[in-house]
Amino acid sequence: MPCTYYSPSEERDIASAALNDATRLLCQACGILESNKIALPTELAAWWKDHQERDKARIKAENALLAKQKEEAKVKKQALSKLTEAEKKALGIK
């Protein structure tokens, strides 16, 4: 998932979409400036640090969700492998 604007209410309206676009562009710009060792103004540096921390948390949560989904799919596959075709049909699975 790309960078997003983090609002307290997490509203998904037109203003949030515009802020998400601006946030994505600002994130890219800060990344380029940082990789070229160009110092950011104090206020922007503080935003960038906070944004990176939020991105790390978001990525961690996304990875945890993917891992959970993968594990659930594995468990489901194992459980289904124990059923006969007739049992699957009776349960409406096949």
Alpha-carbon dihedral 47, 48, 51, 56, rounded to 10 degrees: -150
The whole-number average pLDDT for the span 3-10 is 65
**What DSSP assignment string belongs to 42-71?**
HHHHHHHHHHHHHHHHHHHHHHHHHHHHHH
In tens, the pLDDT along 33-52 reads 999 999 999 999 999 999 99
The domain ranges of the chain are 14-90
Q: Is the pLDDT of residue 13 over 70?
A: no
